Amino acid sequence: MKESVVLKVNGKSHTLTIDTDTPLLYVLRNQLELNGPKYGCGLQQCGACMVLLDGKAQPSCMITAKSAKVHVITTLEGISEDESSIHPVQEAFVTEQAAQCGYCLNGMVISAVSLLNENPNPGDKEVREGLQRNLCRCGTHSRIIKAVKRAAARQ
């Protein structure tokens, strides 16, 4: 059943009339037209749909809009300060050319931002653990690890 819900996304409050049982991912993509979070599995197994909920990386494919309304939501589109600037993690991914098809990149960048928020100076093991919920099929893992370490060194 449709009802009104207010979602706080990328610094703005959005009042939406939707079925509030809809997983957040579909609301972000279809109602707010944000292409950052991607559908990968709908099962919280792959991390493609990750967003920041109150600064922490979380999959958006199972949490409902109803449950998400209490959180401050940030998507890939919202991690840099403004449209002209670029977050150090984004910049590091470009420098390391850490992508092939790039479909998983949203989740990788979001996980990395979350990790560096908590631990600005992670070692190799912490970086890997910080990305453990994210899958990549092209085998770009080694570059992604380098990019996260580069971003950490820059922060």
Partner 1 sequence: MKSTRRDFLKLSGCLTIGFSIGGISPEHFSPLINELPESIKRYPNINSWIEVLANGHVRIFTGKAELGQGIRTAIAQVAAEELDLEMDNVEVMLAETERTPNEGYTVGSGSIEQSAMAVRFASAAARMKLTELASKKLNVPVEEIIITNGKVYANNGGNSLTFADLLEGKQISGNVPPTVALKPRQKYKLVGKAVPRDDIKAMVRAEHVYVQDLRFPGMVHARVIRPPSYGAALKKFDEQYVKKRVPALLKTVRNGNFLAVIAADEHDAIRAQKSMAFSAVWSSPKMITDSEKNIKEFIKKQPSQPERVHETGKLSVESFTHTAQYYKPYIIHGSIGPSCSVALWDKEKLHVWTHTQGVYPLREAIAGLLRIPEENIHVKGIPGSGCYGHNGADDVSADAALIAMQFPGRHVRVQWSREEEHAWEPYGSAMIMEAAATLDGAGKIINWKYDLWSDTHSTRPGGKAENLLAARYIENPLTSGDKGYSGGAVRNSQPYYTIPNQQINSNFFKGPLRVSALRSLGAYANIFAVESFMDELAEKAGKDPFEFRLMHLDDERAKAVVIKLREMTKDQQTSPGTGLGIAFSRYKNSAAYCAVAALVETSPDLRLIKMWSAIDAGEVINIDGIKNQTEGGMIQSASWTIKEQVKFDGKRITSADWGTYPIFRFIETPEVEVEVLNRPDEEALGAGEAAQGPASAAIVNAIYKANGKRVRDLPVM
Report if residue 145 touches partner 1, rule: CB under 8 A.
Answer: yes
- The amino acid present at 67, given as its one-letter code, is S
Report if residue 98 touches partner 1, rule: CB under 8 A.
Answer: yes
Report if residue 22 touches partner 1, rule: CB under 8 A.
Answer: yes
Q: Cα(69)–Cα(8) distance, rounded to whole angstroms?
A: 7
Helix-helix angle 88-95:105-118, to 10 degrees: 130
In the bound complex, what is the minimum distance in angstroms from residue 64's beta carbon to partner 1? 10
What DSSP line would sit under 46-93, residue for residue? S-TT-EEETTEEE--SSSBHHHHTTSEEE-GGGSSSSTT---HHHHHH
Judged by CB under 8 A, the residue of 33, 70, 81, 82 near partner 1 is 33
Please count the residues of this chain forming the interface with partner 1, following the rule CB under 8 A: 56
In the bound complex, what is the minimum distance in angstroms from residue 74's beta carbon to partner 1? 12
Binding to partner 1 by CB under 8 A, coded x per residue (else -) over 125-144, reads --xxx-xx-xxxxxxxxxxx
**Cα dihedral 105/106/112/114 (nearest 10):** -170
In the bound complex, what is the minimum distance in angstroms from residue 13's beta carbon to partner 1? 21
Q: Which residues bind partner 1 (CB under 8 A)?
A: 19, 22-23, 26, 29-30, 33-36, 38-43, 45-46, 48, 75-77, 80, 86, 90-91, 93-94, 97-106, 109, 127-129, 131-132, 134-145
